[in-house]
Amino acid sequence: MSYDTVVVGAGLAGLTAALRLTERGQRVMIVARGVGATHLAPATIDVLGYLGDTRVGAPAGSLAALIAASPDHPYAHITADQLATAVTWFGAHAAALGYSGSVGENMLLPTALGVPKPSALAPRSMAGGDLRGGGRFLFVGFKGFKDFHPALIADNLVRAPLPLPITARALELEPPSSRLGDLSGRVIAGRFDADNLTDWLVGELENRVEPDERIGVPAVLGLRSGDQTWQELEKRLGCTVFEVSTLPPSVPGIRLFNALTAALRARGARLVLGVRAVGAHANNGHIDTIDVANATGTVSHAVGSVLLATGGFPSGGLELDSFGATRETVFDLPLIGVPETDRVRFAPNYFDPQPLASAGVPTDDLLRPVDANGHPVYTNLHAAGAILGGAIPWKEKSGTGISVASGYAAAEAILAPAAQSVSEAVR
């Protein structure tokens, strides 16, 4: 079987690129070992939250300073216009979640630990938690739901540095028949989808909400019905309600994965999970076929282009072996950001700057992985997302922004030669 593009990886970068490519009429197959970080990370699009230790208010306006300080950063290969277009396009195409926000300014959204997190875009069910304007907040938790403690959120937020002061209080509710033990986010979301937990929640809250209070609930209002449940709660309670991102698994992240994969299938893309890209056959620096291993053997697919979106160490795009060697796992591509000696691979404390944090592949401005001389390793191989070197996403709060922007920009680079040859043919 032949494809215009084979996308390797079903995280945010791969899905974004695939969606853009299918939108422009390409025949696309996505192959992935499994789901990516969507199922763990909040569904917010965080373009740039921190420059060093300084919180960023205007992500687009801060990119030049970021690139000056980190010239190898993935954003150095994406123009400001491309970034803005990518993020706006993404918000419109993940319409089922009703994204709001822009690259012009960051919202400050509460996390489950009570930290204000800068995010450029957020599903509308979360955007009402924007802390920038100050005000009164009520955080609600569910007894038995692990790792979500409303009192911790409220206590930490009132002490957090915010542009305007807030007041916050906490309430813990016991969902009906929850005494069976610990509840996970997915279980509660399933109950919002299936039973009438909405009626129960409205009943518990309607006489307890004080004037002008905004209500923060864990982001578990349903996998299928999350957005509708959120709208119904706001309507029936007559106040702003918002979901607060939880620790993994991430229900809004799973909603996002479901929305993007449904859109891809509707456009005829083929999504194959549980398989592994293991290599390719190339001629004169051009990949002709990509090898994909499944449970019974390896199949070669003829391709026009390949988009590598295999993530970093957590998803298997990069590997550190027991001898201390770091490698890119599909093509053995050159890497940047890898410390030269064994001894400096890890800093002693978890939150210290970790030397391996910025490891990944270097690229040219078409997001093609390059060798030490800056030449593309393969003319038709592009890369996007956390496999790109030069960023420290967990510190910058830029991971999902890099995935969306580079996924979109890599798709545009793949489409450009096709567009050129069409216009040449027309001439």
Binding site for ligand FAD (CB under 6 A): 8-14, 31-37, 40-42, 46, 248, 276-277, 309-311, 314-317, 329-330, 385-386, 393, 397-400, 403
Report the residue number, 42 or 116, with the smaller CB distance to ligand FAD.
Answer: 42
Cα 16 from Cα 29, distance rounded (Å): 13
Residue closer to ligand FAD by CB (options 239, 411) is: 411
Sort strands 121-123 and 99-101 into parallel, antiparallel or unpaired. antiparallel
Instruction: Return the number of the residue (138 or 280) whose C-beta is nearest ligand FAD.
Output: 280
Distance CA 392, CA 81 (A): 22
Q: Name the residue among 47, 107, 57 with its Cα closest to residue 400.
A: 47
Minimum separation from the CB atom of position 67 to ligand FAD (A)? 18
Residue 92 forms beta bridges with which residues? none
CB-nearer residue toward ligand FAD: 7 or 205: 7
Burial of 363 (0-12, 13-18, 19+ CB in 10 A): buried
In whole angstroms, how close is the CB of 342 to ligand FAD at the nearest point? 25
Characterize 172-183 residue by residue with b for buried, 16 or more Cβ atoms within 10 angstroms of its Cβ, and e for exposed. Answer: ebebeebeeeeb
Distance in Å, CB of 179 to ligand FAD, minimum: 29
Task: Give least dist CB 204 to ligand FAD, A.
Answer: 29
Least distance between ligand FAD and beta carbon 333 (Å):
12
User: In terms of CB distance, is 125 or 310 closer to ligand FAD?
Assistant: 310
Q: Quote the least distance from Cβ 115 to ligand FAD, whole Å.
A: 10
Nearer to ligand FAD, 262 or 419 (CB): 262
| Element holding 121 (H helix, E strand) | strand 121-123
Nearer to ligand FAD, 54 or 284 (CB): 54
Nearer of residues 122 and 338 to ligand FAD, judged by Cβ: 122
- Could you say which DSSP state residue 154 is in? H
Question: How far is residue 92 CA from its own chain's centroid?
Answer: 16
- Total count of residues recorded for the chain: 427
Pairing of strands 270-273, 276-283: unpaired
CB of 285 to ligand FAD, least distance (A): 21
CA gap 171, 38 in Å, rounded = 29
For the bound state, the minimum distance from the C-beta of residue 370 to ligand FAD, rounded and expressed in Å, comes to 19
Longest CA span, the chain: 72
C-beta of 286 vs 394, nearer to ligand FAD = 394
Q: 391, 294, 371: which is closest to 29 by C-alpha? A: 294
Residue 332 is given by DSSP the state -
CB of 298 to ligand FAD, least distance (A): 12
Q: Could you tell me the two tokens for 193?
A: 């989808």
Which helix (H) or strand (E) covers residue 404, if one does? helix 399-426
Strand partners, 310: none
